[in-house]
């Protein structure tokens, strides 16, 4: 019975994470050219919108921690899901810059309110040896929807319009939410916070402070920053760059998004094995190397082979990068300390995404092309790989602080 309950919780978390990322931050880039044109905006304003939405994610991080402590992790995720369904319906009636900014700002809190509570979900409902696999699977889950996004957006752009697409996404979201809610109620997983994750009078302890000051802690947080600058920003302007500057057809963009998603689907299982056998250091180096490959393939002519290789490389890397941090932290720190360290790391990554999105949008207007933004992204991927190499292997071993 306990195993059945664990499997239901894992399946629901995968489903809700899939929609939180797939129908939010990954779907918008697919229709960004049409939305930009339809609303009469330029990419400087789009950069302001996408950069500003990262501020919302930053503000949502401490809010997520407070809400989880009061109402419980799974209840927080479910509530965020239904709230997002209403916001997606609101995108249908966008009229201009201010509407787009406000809805994008609010929608960007959705993945945060889904992802941050996952550390507590793992601590409350899963045994320790399951947690790294859980995080890599949940991290890779969004790739299922990324693959779907390509066909989903292409169909609506061909047969209808982007407004109808967002209304359909809202309706799908409601259905997913109802199924998830019924499943969690069936296994008795909903409710307030567990006693072992309730706030106590004691601090997380010296373990967290010592880790943050250690070479491993400093380097890992630097990697969080590089990850935000690169992985969050990379897909945002990809469709506009390929379609408007390289004259790539919609069918090729659809194929790339599908390949991106399909490549990421098995990545969670593959990297859970790599982490277990080769360690977090090797995994980070491999992930950033895939990022370098993805950026390099965009530098040449828009031929099918390099475009497909770029999509496959980025899809694989993006699928697992977000799960590496919490997978490691959940093993080396106590539940409370890991939750706080993960919140800090997510905040740092979000700041990186804010800077990357803002500069990416403005670079098109200032420099006349997104090419320079993707060249800079490739360099940052290389910096991330170098930082990963500098990680001290000893600092990546469990310390026993559970």
**pLDDT on residue 89:** 93
**279: buried, middle or exposed (CB in 10 Å: 19+, 13-18, 0-12)?**
middle
Instruction: Identify which has the larger pLDDT, 161 or 126.
Output: 161
Tell which residue, 381, 387, 245, has the closest CA to residue 310.
Answer: 381
Res. 196: pLDDT tops 90: no
pLDDT digits over 148-169, tens only? 787 888 899 889 999 999 999 9
Distance from C-alpha of 397 to C-alpha of 278, rounded to nearest angstrom: 12
pLDDT tens for 239-297 read 788 888 887 777 788 788 888 878 887 887 788 788 778 877 888 899 999 999 999 99
Measured between alpha carbons, how far is 195 from 207 in angstroms, rounded to an integer? 21
- CA distance linking residue 288 with residue 188, whole number of Å: 40
Average pLDDT taken over every residue of the chain: 83
The CA distance from 70 to 243, in Å, is: 46
Whose CA is closest to 326, among 145, 189, 141, 123? Answer: 123
**Has residue 335 got a pLDDT over 90?**
no
Domains and CATH numbers, the chain: 2-195+204-396 (1.20.1250.20)
pLDDT of residue 393: 55
Q: How confident is the model at residue 228 (pLDDT cuts 50, 70, 90)?
A: very high
Q: What is the pLDDT of residue 400?
A: 42
- The dihedral sign for the CA sequence 305, 309, 312, 318: negative
pLDDT at position 295, please?
93
Measure the CA–CA gap between 222 and 310, rounded to whole angstroms.
25
The predicted-structure confidence for 366-399, as pLDDT tens digits, reads as follows: 887 888 889 999 999 999 999 988 876 544 444 4
* CB contact at 8 A, 369 and 189: no
Burial of 200 (0-12, 13-18, 19+ CB in 10 A): exposed
Give dist(CA 378, CA 288) in Å, integer: 9
User: Are 80 and 114 contacting, i.e. CB atoms less than 8 angstroms apart?
Assistant: yes
Three-state DSSP string of the chain? CHHHHHHHHHHHHHHHHHHHHHCCCCCHHHHHHHHHHHCCCCHHHHHHHHHHHHHHHHHHHHHHHHHHHHHCHHHHHHHHHHHHHHHHHHHCCCCCHHHHHHHHHHHCHHHHHHHCCHHHHHHHHCCHHHHHHHHHHHHHHHHHHHHHHHHHHHHHHHHCCHHHHHHHHHHHHHHHHHHHHHHHHHCCCCCCCCHHHCCCCCCCCHHHHHHHHCHHHHHHHHHHHHHHHHHHCCCCCHHHHHHHHCCCCHHHHHHHHHHHHHHHCCHHHHHHHHHHHHCHHHHHHHHHHHHHHHHHHCCCCCCHHHHHHHHHHHHHHHHHHHHHHHHHHHHHCCHHHHHHHHHHHHHHHHHHHHHHHHHHHHHHHHHCCCHHHHHHHHHHHHHHHHHHHHCCHHHHCCCCCC
* Residue 305: predicted pLDDT: 86
User: How many angstroms separate the CA atoms of 117 and 111, rounded?
Assistant: 10
Q: What is the pLDDT of residue 129?
A: 72
- Out of 52-56, 64-68, 232-236, 296-300, which region has the weakest mean confidence (pLDDT)? 52-56
Whether 229 has a pLDDT exceeding 70, the answer reads yes
The torsion angle over the Cα atoms of residues 63, 182, 170 and 317, rounded to 10 degrees, is 70
Sign of CA dihedral 302, 305, 307, 313: negative
Contact 15, 179 (CB under 8 A): yes
Closest C-alpha to 311, from 360, 242, 255, 357: 255
């Amino acid at each position: 019975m306990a195993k059945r309950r664990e499997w239901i919780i894992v399946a629901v978390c995968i489903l809700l994470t899939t929609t939180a990322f797939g129908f939010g931050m990954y779907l918008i880039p697919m229709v960004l050219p049409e939305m930009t044109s339809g609303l009469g905006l330029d990419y400087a304003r789009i950069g302001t919108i996408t950069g500003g939405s990262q501020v919302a994610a930053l503000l949502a991080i401490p809010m997520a921690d407070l809400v989880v402590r009061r109402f419980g992790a799974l209840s927080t995720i479910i509530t965020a899901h239904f709230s997002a369904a209403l916001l997606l319906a609101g995108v249908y009636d966008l009229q201009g810059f201010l509407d787009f900014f406000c809805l994008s700002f609010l929608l960007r809190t959705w993945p945060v309110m889904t992802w941050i509570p996952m550390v507590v979900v793992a601590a409350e409902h899963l045994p320790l040896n399951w947690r790294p696999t859980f995080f890599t699977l949940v991290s890779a889950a969004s790739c299922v929807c990324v693959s779907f996004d390509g066909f989903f957006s292409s169909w609506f752009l061909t047969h209808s319009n982007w407004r109808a697409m967002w209304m359909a996404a809202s309706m799908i979201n409601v259905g997913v939410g109802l199924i998830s809610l019924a499943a969690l109620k069936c296994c008795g997983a909903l409710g307030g916070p567990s006693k072992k994750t309730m706030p106590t009078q004691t601090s997380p302890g010296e373990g967290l402070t010592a880790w943050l000051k250690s070479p491993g802690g400093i380097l890992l947080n630097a990697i969080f920053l590089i990850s935000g600058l690169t992985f969050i920003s990379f897909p945002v302007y990809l469709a506009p760059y390929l379609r408007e500057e390289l004259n790539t057809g919609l069918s090729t963009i659809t194929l790339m998004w599908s390949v991106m998603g399909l490549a990421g689907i098995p990545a969670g299982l593959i990297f859970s094995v790599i982490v277990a056998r080769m360690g977090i250091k090797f995994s980070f180096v491999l992930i950033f190397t895939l990022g370098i490959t993805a950026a390099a393939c965009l530098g040449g002519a828009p031929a099918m082979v390099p475009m497909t290789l770029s999509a496959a490389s980025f899809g694989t890397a993006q699928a697992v990068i977000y799960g590496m941090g919490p997978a490691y932290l959940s093993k080396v720190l106590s539940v409370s300390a890991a939750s706080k360290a993960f919140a800090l790391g997510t905040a740092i990554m979000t700041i990186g995404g804010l800077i990357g999105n803002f500069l990416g949008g403005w670079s098109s207007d200032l420099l006349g092309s997104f090419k320079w933004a993707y060249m800079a992204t490739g360099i940052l991927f290389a910096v991330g790989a170098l930082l990963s190499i500098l990680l001290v292997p000893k600092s990546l071993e469990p310390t026993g602080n559970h």
